[in-house]
Amino acid sequence: MTDQQLDIHEASPNELAAAHRNVFDVWSKGLPLDEHVASRLASPKHRLATWYVGTLDSRVVVSLGCYPLQFKYRDQLVPGCSIGSVYTVKECRGQGYAPQLLAWVEKREHQRGAKIGLLYSDIDPTYYERLGYLLCPSLEGWLDPRGVAPAMEQPYHLVEVNARQRWPELSRLYLKYHGAMPLSIARDEAYWQALLERFPEERFYALSDRKGGWQGYVRIGLKGPQWRITDYALGDQSLELAEALYAATVELARQGGAEQFGGWLPDHPSALQFFELHDRKTEITMLKSLDASLPLDAEMLELASRFCEIDHV
């Protein structure tokens, strides 16, 4: 450890720009430096966060974003936070600055009411396990829909919907499906609107029965020939309905000319019917209780495999 004292505080506008410049080598998405910084400053997702920095001699050497979040914890709404973009400049790594910053932010957020912390690790998760975060199943699966035989007639089919107009119905399905579990990410109206701002080019489809009733929905992100599931919910917990959703989306991808289809998938028999699941190498889900009265048991950690990619920060 160095003798220099890390100054931790909420980022000023100039410090925020400096923090975004620092992460250029990891999260540039192929943009030039100035465009990368401008993109992150303008991002609807990043603007939701409170950004914290640690400085040495007024230089930003470590930073992270803290996003407000709510959880459904055994039938009660619980405030929480999601941590993203944890980064230390190369020459200052190994000094314990990121753990200092994270502990400071967790303490501050707990004082403000947060009881559960969430992060998605892009590094070896044992780093965050040493800081009290618990590893959750983080699975993905892919297939080439061109090799899948055309689906037989099914009792359900997908209908594209305008999510901005129909979000209340999507919200009710999400709450009925995910909210029935002992642990889930809760979504109020403001959160839904924020999700709709993210990747507005993504498509929403309702899983419709023969009478036109909605029995679920799926959100699909398209990037060239790759199609991925970024959000979903169902009208009940049955294996039959989950299999129907996967069958319908695989067929949609096949008809749409996708060459790769999948994404984050839950540890559930329905997903295994169609996909070979494996652990994600990045974006690994990790949870931490910030309040001793709200323990996270094994069942809750298992259920985190149902968290949707669109909630990732």
pLDDT tens per residue, range 184-212: 999 999 999 999 999 999 999 999 999 99
The SS3 assignment for 17 reads: helix
CATH number of 140-279: 3.40.630.30
* The predicted structure's pLDDT at residue 4: 76
Residue 2 above 90 pLDDT? no
Q: Where are the alpha helices (DSSP H) in the chain?
A: 13-22, 24-27, 33-42, 44-47, 97-111, 126-129, 163-177, 189-197, 239-255, 269-272, 298-303
pLDDT for 123 beyond 70: yes
Considering only the C-alpha atoms of the chain, give the largest distance between any 2 of them, rounded to a whole number of Å.
70
In the chain, what percentage of residues exceed pLDDT 90?
Answer: 96
- Asked if residue 88 has pLDDT above 60, the reply is yes
Residue 91 neighbours by CB distance under 10 Å = 8
Whether 150 contacts 255, CB under 8 Å: no
* Model pLDDT for residues 233-250, shown as the tens digit of each residue: 999 999 999 999 999 999
The residues facing 80 across adjacent strands are 69, 116
Rounded to the nearest 10°, the torsion over CA 82, 284, 107, 40 is: -50
Distance (Å, rounded) from C-alpha 163 to C-alpha 312? Answer: 19
Identical topology for domains 7-137+282-311 and 140-279: yes
Q: Could you identify the residue written with the tokens 């889930």? A: 184
Task: With cut-offs at 50, 70 and 90, classify the pLDDT of residue 3.
Answer: low
- Is the predicted pLDDT of residue 277 greater than 70, yes or no? yes
**167-176: long-range pairs with CB below 8 Å, 24+:** 167/192, 167/193, 167/196, 169/206, 169/214, 170/204, 170/217, 170/233, 173/214, 173/216, 173/217, 173/233, 173/234, 173/235, 174/233, 176/233, 176/235, 176/236
Alpha-carbon torsion (233, 234, 240, 245), positive or negative: negative
DSSP reduced 3-state for 39: helix
> pLDDT tens digit string along 205-223?
999 999 999 999 999 999 9
pLDDT of residue 154: 83
Q: What is the mean pLDDT of residues 11-29?
A: 97
Q: Any idea which fold 7-137+282-311 has?
A: Aminopeptidase (3.40.630)
Average pLDDT over residues 284-306: 96
pTM for this model (two decimals): 0.94
Mean pLDDT of 177-184: 97
42 in Cβ contact with 82 (< 8 Å): no
> What's the chain's average pLDDT?
96
What percent of the chain is modeled with pLDDT above 70? Answer: 99
Distance in angstroms (rounded) separating the CA atoms of residues 90 and 295: 35
pLDDT value, residue 1: 42
Q: Check residues 152 and 72 and name the one with the higher pLDDT.
A: 72
Amino acid residing at 155: P
Answer for the pair 161, 231: CB distance below 8 angstroms, yes or no: no
Domain boundaries, the chain: 7-137+282-311, 140-279
